[in-house]
Structure 1
Amino acid sequence: MGTRIVLVHGWKGNPDNHWFRRLRNECEAKRYIVITPQMPNPDHPKRDEGVRHLVEAVPNPDEATYFVGHSLGCITILRYFAGLIASSRVGVLFLLPALWSPLGLVWPKNL
């Protein structure tokens, strides 16, 4: 199996938001296997649901598995990693946190 790139979107997102579509297309053009799970309930996410969904999408990560997370996707990936056995290895972890500005938005408490 070739290199897998897992793109995990954030809160209120989807696999086609922001730069995900372009990155997916560029990676696929280079023959990478790209996994872009639609995370459950992106407008009202629940921590355990997101982690379970990622486990289902990527049950056996290895050194040829690269993770890219944005916003809440970063937290989801880190919680997913916390559930892996200690001997697990992944190739790359690239986290792009969202910038939080005073827009009157309230971060969900159940995350």
Structure 2
Amino acid sequence: MSNLIKNVYIIHGYGASAEHHWFPWLKKELEKKDTNVVILNLPAPNSPNSNEWSNALKEQIKIIDKNSYFIAHSLGCISLLKFLEALPNSTKIGGYILVSGFNAPLFILKELDAFLKPTIDYEKLKNISSNRVVISSKDDSIVPFNLSNNLSNSLDAKLLVEEKGGHFLETDGFEEFPLVLNEFNKFLNE
């Protein structure tokens, strides 16, 4: 394991902020490991705009290298993937973990369809890091399991499935999320 400082960026989803769900807990846990952790604050999370979120990622993500890691939730996942896809082809990062991610329309949130266009270059996103994880729940009522499964297949990512986790929100009992921390630790130990 390298002594270099790791930079971790946590990207929230629709209707959330840096103070929601398991994000503050994860930041605190990750900071125990010589990591610099930033939880991005994305504009207008209750009525998100893909261009505004894209610009916010560009402004807030300062370091992008092999010691940079990304953890995203829900709508933050597709926003992160579009951000990574726009980086130079030679870019390499430490890895990314996508929680309840999707790459197809959500029938209950049609207003988010703009985030899905244009389609993504999955080959580029595979080449940016060999550490790729998607976490999903069989009982997610917001992002159906099959959509996260499809995203995992598109990225050739490791898929971790919880039987009961809902959308991994505070209201689902997720103020802490040890599974994400454990997967991040595996990245560091490789």
Q: How many residues align?
A: 107
1:110 match: secondary structure: helix
Q: Are residues 1:110 and 2:114 paired?
A: yes
**Share of identical aligned residues, percent?**
28
Equivalent in 29, 34, 44 of residue 47 of structure 2: 44
Tell which deviates more after alignment, 36-45 or 89-98.
Answer: 89-98
Tell me which residue corresponds to 1:18. Answer: 21
Amino acid paired to 1:5: V
Tell which deviates more after alignment, 11-20 or 90-99.
Answer: 90-99
CA distance in 1, matches of 2:29, 2:63: 24
Q: CA deviation at 1:93?
A: 0.9
- Closer/same/farther in 2, CA of residues 98 and 82 from structure 1, 3 Å limit: closer
What do residues 14-45 of structure 1 show as CA deviations (whole Å, max 9, x unaligned)?
Answer: 11211101000101122210011101110011
Tell me which residue corresponds to 1:91. Answer: 94
Amino acid paired to 2:20: N
CA distance in 2, matches of 1:79, 1:43: 20
Structure number with the bigger relative contact order (C-alpha 8 A, sep ≥ 6) is: 1
Q: What RMSD, in angstroms, separates the aligned Cα atoms of the two structures?
A: 1.8
Q: Are residues 1:28 and 2:27 paired?
A: no
Runs of 4+ in 1 over 2 A off after TM superposition: 104-107
1:49 match: secondary structure: helix
CA distance in 1, matches of 2:110, 2:7: 31
Equivalent in 72, 76, 80 of residue 75 of structure 2: 72
Q: For structure 2, which runs of at least 5 residues remain unmatched after alignment?
A: 116-190
Q: CA deviation at 1:98?
A: 5.7
Q: TM-score, normalised by structure 2?
A: 0.52
Q: CA deviation at 1:72?
A: 0.4
2:77 match: secondary structure: helix
Q: TM-score, normalised by structure 1?
A: 0.87
Question: Which has the greater radius of gyration?
Answer: 2
